[in-house]
Structure 1
Amino acid sequence: MAEADGKTPTRIVHVTEAPLGGVVSYLEELVAAQIEGMPDTQIDLITPEINLPALEQLHGPNFRIIGFPMKRGSARDLYGLARRTIRHLRERRPEILHIHSTFAGAAIRGMSPLIPRGTKVVYCPHGWAFSRQGSRKMQRGTALVERALSLVTDRIVCISEYERQAALDIGIADKRLTVIDNGISPRDILHEPTPPQPGAPRMIAFAGRFDRQKGFDTFVEVMRQLGDEARGVAVGSAIVSSDEMPDLPGNIELLGWQPRDEVFALYRRADLLLMPSRWEGFGLVAVEAMQAGLPVFASRVGGLQDIVLDRETGRLFTPDRPDEIVRMIRETSDQDLTEYGRHGLERYRAHYTAERMAKEMAGLYRELLSQ
């Protein structure tokens, strides 16, 4: 995206209702880069209280984080978030309101007449709701809502080219869309790929919510079929209900949510990352693994198709096909894994840095403020 002339905003408000997971990782990277790159800008982040420990490293003289109680799936809490946000906007009068995720986007933009004049509304769905698995009626309904709300949005940030094309397909105007790929900061542990240990069980990593979207049940079935050939290490937890957890085979270890540096250290030890997601707007975990030189085996869905290059940085497979995944893992040699990891690290360095993401976002803000 070309960098536009225009002023740097003096006040930015970020808002999300999403608990933990990829949206929070995205905000951690973006807001940290904005605090450093725009030191004179007041940046506020309104987020559920459950996210506060994961974001505690964000700090700066002009940064403020505002937590609120949010029960997942609660329409009452979502309405409360929208009212709180509108009140905050009318008190602070920011130039940029940047909304993250579907439900916050719908609730707050649904109150667009109350948003102060002069505040530019930027919205990032982090994966379109109408692209998720579900009934056709639900998909059509959410598509109609997104198309209508796009008319009161100054710009929609698509986190992958796939997401942009999906928006065009339902009739959202191209002029309202900008693609800015996610990015992550380099870590001290950044390194060239380490070859797998011949003859040892392969360590297969999983990171994310233990739910249907992320395909945790598929991961469990793959590990069950591999048996003594592999051991699985899963970072994350069941956000909605632990009652939905499938029975685990003995070759899976659950670590819970971990600090990001610990996750990167795990990626250095693992042989591959498995992402059997049923839908993804982007798939930030894949980029994090590539940064550590770890091959990514992922579903051929959403933004993962843009990130993972089949037989170059990993493998792509059909969702809900554990037999296919097991066959791919068994057919992939140690040499192939080493090459996939090396190419993935090169791809991260070329396309998915936080510095590039923050620079493009700042350019978008300036473009909007110059209009």
Structure 2
Amino acid sequence: MGFDLLLEAMDSLSLDAFHLTVVGEAVEKSFEPPASSKITYAGWLAPAAVREHIAKSDVLIVPSRWESFCLVAAEAQVLGLPVIAGNHCSLPEIVENARTGMLFSPHSASAIAEAIGACTVEMLAKMGEEALGLSRHRFTLEEMNRLTLESYSA
């Protein structure tokens, strides 16, 4: 989880400029997300509905405290969406800082706010283009199979 950090980060930013759509649900069932006119809770969605949300978004924010291979970040980039995520676990392998998105120090609401606040609309568009271009090579079935086989032969 890390949604609490994202909420704290959003509180420190000018919310007039943002609307947050949350897809999925909390890992900890006891967590009660706050109601806000600036947040839409979509819950768990089918893949086609997730793609629709990605198509309407300016950026994907992954505030996770831990991730294995963050498939949603790779999927977003394949669709041309830049990603703001923690600089830990597998995320730096997916997101190239200031090229296909922004990386922040994990476990820090202020670092998340800083990464979001540093992005302009123009930067996000450029990072989305870069993400789309790079992902068309990096996240193909052939490339993923090649890398998997390579790791087993090492």
User: Which TM-score tier does this pair reach, normalised by the shorter chain?
Assistant: 0.7 to 0.9
Displacement of 1:327: 2.6
| Contact kept in structure 2, 1:223 and 1:252, CA below 8 Å | no
- Residue 229 of structure 1 aligns to which amino acid in structure 2? A
Displacement of 1:263: 0.8
| 1:217 partnered with 2:4 | yes
Q: Which residue of 2 aligns with 1:264?
A: 51
Q: 1:354, 1:261 → 2: CA distance?
A: 20
Q: 2:10, 2:97 → 1: CA distance?
A: 22
Which is higher, the Rg of structure 1 or of structure 2?
1
Q: Which residue of 2 aligns with 1:231?
A: 19
* TM-score between both structures, scaled by the size of structure 1: 0.38
Displacement of 1:262: 1.3
Summarize the Cα distance change of 1:239–1:261 in structure 2 as closer, same or farther, 3 Å threshold: same
| 1:340 partnered with 2:140 | no
Q: Answer 1 or 2: higher relative contact order, Cα 8 Å, separation at least 6.
A: 2
1:244 pairs, out of 31, 46, 61, with: 31
Displacement of 1:223: 2.7
| Contact kept in structure 1, 2:138 and 2:144, CA below 8 Å | no
Q: Which residue of 2 aligns with 1:310?
A: 97
Q: Which runs of no fewer than 5 residues in structure 1 stay unpaired?
A: 1-211
The 5-angstrom pairing of residues 266-285 of structure 1 reads: 266-285=53-72
Q: 2:116, 2:65 → 1: CA distance?
A: 19
Summarize the Cα distance change of 1:360–1:295 in structure 2 as closer, same or farther, 3 Å threshold: closer
Q: Which deviations, in whole Å up to 9, do the C-alpha atoms of 1:153-175 show, x marking residues without a partner? A: xxxxxxxxxxxxxxxxxxxxxxx
* TM-score between both structures, scaled by the size of structure 2: 0.86
The 5-angstrom pairing of residues 189-204 of structure 1 reads: none
> How many residue pairs align between the two structures?
150
Kindly indicate which of the two structures has a greater share of residues assigned to helix. 2
- Identity %, equivalent residues: 33
1:328 pairs, out of 106, 115, 119, with: 115
Q: 2:10, 2:135 → 1: CA distance?
A: 28
Q: Which deviations, in whole Å up to 9, do the C-alpha atoms of 1:158-202 show, x marking residues without a partner? A: xxxxxxxxxxxxxxxxxxxxxxxxxxxxxxxxxxxxxxxxxxxxx
Summarize the Cα distance change of 1:324–1:300 in structure 2 as closer, same or farther, 3 Å threshold: same
| 1:255 partnered with 2:54 | no
**RMSD between aligned residues:** 2.1
Kindly indicate which of the two structures has a greater share of residues assigned to strand. 1
Q: Which deviations, in whole Å up to 9, do the C-alpha atoms of 1:279-317 show, x marking residues without a partner? A: 222211110110111110000001101111111001100
